[in-house]
Copies of this chain bind each other. A is one copy, B any other.
Amino acid sequence: MMMNKETMKTTCINLLGARGVLPADIAELVFELQKKYVADLTMKTCDDAVDRVLSKREVHYAILTGVELDMLAEKKGLSEPLQSLIESDAPLYGIDEILALSICNVYGSIGLTNFGYVDKIKPGIVGKLDRMGKETAHCHTFLDDIVGAIAAAAASSVAHNNAL
């Protein structure tokens, strides 16, 4: 079942929605990250930047792969020791950060800093996903990093568009 890029985008947005993440939640992170650098930043600008990131093929593949691993872990569908590593969000696992890095680099290396900051501070939707992952049966090992990375890439895109 091969999909064209537009159908793939819709599939990914629906998948994020089913996991509790709306594009508007990510746009709020972008606003927080960029408001001190862009004088007259609007939510529309942030929404558009998130939409641009969500249109990129490499972002689709990272979302599909990471969220699948989270869902398989919730269903105890992975082999050991991978099941335990992902289910427990083991701090040294690192494959979640590697997938996220492939997203946050789509608008150049400046996405990196914002990603690390969001991952550490866990504002807005990222904090909510992190708490749900820790306190409920949900597994968000990949999802919180993916969301942080989309926000970081979108913030880079805003910064690039705002430059000369």
Residues on A lying within 8 angstroms of B by beta carbon are: 1-5, 8, 11, 37, 57-58, 61-62, 64-65, 68-69, 71-72, 77-85, 88, 90-95, 97-99, 101-102, 105, 108-110, 112-121, 159-160, 163-164
A73 → chain B closest CB, angstroms: 11
8 closest cross-chain pairs (CB), A and B: A116-B116, A117-B120, A94-B109, A58-B108, A4-B164, A97-B109, A113-B119, A64-B82
Contact yes or no, B84 A79, CB < 8 A: no
Question: For the complex, would chain A's binding face be called helix, strand, loop or mixed by DSSP majority?
Answer: helix
Residues of B with C-beta under 8 A to A116: 112-120
Select A110's contact among B82, B97, B110, B121, beta carbons within 8 Å.
B97
